[in-house]
Amino acid sequence: MSTPAPPAKDAVALATRGLSKAFGSLAVARDIEINLPVGARYALIGPNGAGKTTLINLMTGMLAPNAGQIFLAGDDITTLGPQERVRRGLARTFQINTLFAGLNALEAVTLAVAERRRIAGKFWRGVGSHSETIEEAYEILRRLRLGDSCYQTTRELPYGRQRLLEIALALATKPKVLLLDEPAAGVPQEESGEVFEAVASLADDLTLLFIEHDMHVVFRFASHIIVLVGGAIFTEGSPAEIAADPGVREVYLGKRKHG
Amino acid sequence: MSANTTTITPRAYLQAQSRWHPLEIAFWLATLLPFVLFPDYLSLASQIAITALFALSLDIILGYAGIVSLGHAAFFGIGAYTAGLISKFGWGDPLSGLVLATAAAGLVGFAVSFIISRFRHFTLIMITLGLGLLAFEAANRAHWLTGGSDGLQGMSIWPVLGIFKFDLYGYTAYAYSLAVLFFVFLGARRLINSPFGLALRGIRENWVRMPAIGADSRAHIRKAFTIAAAIAGLAGAVLAQTTENVSLESISFQRSADVLVMLVLGGAGRLYGGLVGAAIFMVARDQFSGIAPQYWYFWIGVLLVTVVMVLPNGILGGLSHIYARWRRK
């Protein structure tokens, strides 16, 4: 196998080379090569079981690949643990809410900010005395319109707000690259716009890759679309190219068998 | 509700979390009552304070970080034997004895924490159980050092600060135990309200999310476990010094199980749960064993099952629930 050239340091925020993963005989990622330019708004689409979440798990270090490499801003991060990748600026959200149910939104985001500022190990001063950390946390919540409900325990928050809290927790790590796994999953269609508007309002230099099933949302927010089928990249291109691709249509209508 | 919660600033809100509640002040004032009301029970009061301290140490790892230990008495025992041996071999100063015993238990706790921080749930329960049994048998085997099942004899504790002699009635003992409990409680309270305390609650609430916000949960657990072990050792040392002997029971599985029962009875994860649980447990033991010395544990069993079924968050959890409803009215 030829070794592909590592990605250019300045232009490519996140890249994978030959990324592969199999569970037993089931290949869930096959030789995946992705280049996310700095500031990209990429969508990752594909039918159920295509390996979209697996790919995010591989990129964030929650799964170890069988082969291949992952580069963050040109640095090989393949062997780093999940928290080291987060500290280097690679954050994610979860398709199924993975929140701190018993903490309120303010506490949860304050914790995430405290971790990033490396003060979460300090036990001799009250949380209340770390005012910069608290203000930063509150600012993130306010930007996602969670300011009003920040004292509510997470498990008591309405579902749509919990989805926004997912994003708030990821933003608290000050990511350079943010991977969103169906950020509006389970949110009623009329409210999913709110989640994506929150996403779209994020800083321009933040590199985004999101998984989404709703094609209206994908075409509205993505600048580039990657289609994943059976653990491999089926095709990629601009929204217009993907919309015009007959192969993609077939995949989604299930006319073609992929094994 | 919305009027006063939405107007408060985030910082003021978080500061208010650590403010002293009048009930807390009342609680600590009440701990002084035995001096006046029950002067005949000061030894029991001292035992309660020591047990409460032990339960507080378990609360830090179990109640806050969600780390179940069935072998916490190992550290209590290490502290007790260290304090006992120091005094037996000629250094009877209580305060420096406490420092050394705390350090010894903390050091062993630190070493063990590297194992603890790698496991969760059932595996962890079995590991802590195993380590606890190991510590017990080690103390039992080292008869030449610990006195084994005969207990460690020949301790002689000097007066506290060279002034307060440990008397027969337990005045000094209770004052000493209570003072240690109070100062450690202040520290624990601060820890719980710190960013580190928040991180421990984060580990308890969602172990999977922690790495995704860049947290090194294992490092947090190592630190919390070391602190908990040190405090458990401190509690053991106070018991050794105030009773001037160390029995094998102080490092037994029974003690590990009892402290867990107390914490669950009182309510884990609320700092006072272990204290209240210890008081109820010790008074119940004192009273029940007066009625039926052989079967007093039967009643503890009844109490435990009832509390767990009716009040899943322990007695304090139930009380705070009632208090919250009452305030809302």
Q: What tens digit of pLDDT does each residue of B167-198 get?
A: 878 889 999 999 999 999 999 999 999 999 99
SS3 category, A60: helix
Look at strands A177-181 and A90-92 and give their pairing.
parallel
Question: For B29-54, how does the pLDDT look when each residue is reduced to its tens digit (9 = 90+)?
Answer: 999 999 999 888 999 999 999 999 99
Whether residue B288 lies within 8 A of chain A, CB to CB, comes out as no
Domain membership of residue B268 (yes or no) is: no
> What's the mean pLDDT in B6-16?
84
Within 8 A of A181 by CB-CB distance, chain B residues are: none
pLDDT on residue B254:
93
pLDDT band for position B62 (50/70/90)? very high
Listed in sequence order, the residues at least 6 apart from A160 whose beta carbon sits closer than 8 Å to its beta carbon are: A187, A188, A191, A194, A195
Higher-confidence residue of A37 and B156: namely A37
Expressed as residue numbers, the domain containing B46 is: 40-250
Domain membership of residue B291 (yes or no) is: no
Counting every residue, how long is chain A?
259
Whether residue B118 lies within 8 A of chain A, CB to CB, comes out as no
Q: How far apart are the two ends of chain B, measured CA to CA in Å?
A: 11
What is the number of domains present in chain B? 1
- Both tokens of A114, joined, read 């405290």
* pLDDT value at B2 more than 80: no
DSSP secondary structure string for all residues of B116-159: HTT--HHHHHHHHHHHHHHHHHHHHH-HHHH-GGG-B----PPP
Cα distance from A6 to chain B (closest Cα, Å)?
26
> What's the mean pLDDT in B221-228?
97
CB contact under 8 A, B195 and A133: yes
pLDDT on residue A5:
60
Report d(CA B221, CA B210) in Å as an integer: 12
B/e letters for B275-309, b = 16+ CB within 10 Å, e = fewer, are bbbbbbbbeebeebeeeeeeebbebbeebbeebee
Domain membership of residue B73 (yes or no) is: yes
Domain membership of residue B174 (yes or no) is: yes
CB contact under 8 A, B196 and A172: no
Q: List the beta bridge partners of residue A76.
A: A71
Domain membership of residue B220 (yes or no) is: yes
The domains of chain A, with CATH numbers, are 12-97+175-253 (3.40.50.300)
Residues 177 through 236 of chain A touching chain B, CB cutoff 8 Å: none
Look at strands A41-45 and A224-229 and give their pairing.
parallel
SS3 category, B109: helix
Amino acid at A11: A
Report d(CA B94, CA A107) in Å as an integer: 41
Q: Which residues of chain A have pLDDT under 70?
A: 1-10, 253-259
pLDDT on residue B287:
85
Domain membership of residue B311 (yes or no) is: no
pLDDT on residue A258:
47
* pLDDT value at B3 more than 50: no
According to DSSP H, which parts of chain A are helical?
Answer: 52-60, 82-87, 105-116, 131-143, 159-171, 189-200, 215-221, 239-244, 246-253
pLDDT on residue A1:
44
Higher-confidence residue of B142 and A200: namely B142
Interface test with B, best of A104, A111, A136, A155 (most B CBs within 10 A): A111
pLDDT on residue B151:
85
Report d(CA B142, CA B175) in Å as an integer: 33
DSSP state letter for A6: P
> What's the mean pLDDT in B222-232?
97
Whether residue B212 lies within 8 A of chain A, CB to CB, comes out as yes
Domain membership of residue B180 (yes or no) is: yes
Alpha-carbon distance values, B111 to A61, A242, B67, B264 (Å): 28, 57, 16, 27
Of residues A60, A98, A115, nearest to B206 (C-beta): A98
Amino acid at B22: P
SS3 category, B67: coil
Q: Is residue B231 within 8 Å of residue B184, measured between CB atoms? A: yes
- Both tokens of B282, joined, read 């010790």
Q: Is residue B256 within 8 Å of residue B130, measured between CB atoms? A: no
CB contact under 8 A, A98 and B223: no
Report d(CA B260, CA B266) in Å as an integer: 10
* pLDDT value at B302 more than 60: yes
Q: Is residue A100 within 8 Å of residue A120, measured between CB atoms? A: no
Q: Is residue B94 within 8 Å of residue B160, measured between CB atoms? A: yes
Report d(CA B24, CA B272) in Å as an integer: 9
- Both tokens of B160, joined, read 């506290």
Report d(CA A14, CA A38) in Å as an integer: 8
Counting every residue, how long is chain B?
329
A78: nearest Cα among A63, A96, A100, A98: A63
Interface test with B, best of A100, A138, A165 (most B CBs within 10 A): A100
Whether residue A131 lies within 8 A of chain B, CB to CB, comes out as yes
Domain membership of residue B308 (yes or no) is: no
B61: nearest Cα among B108, B124, B104, B126: B124
pLDDT on residue A254:
56
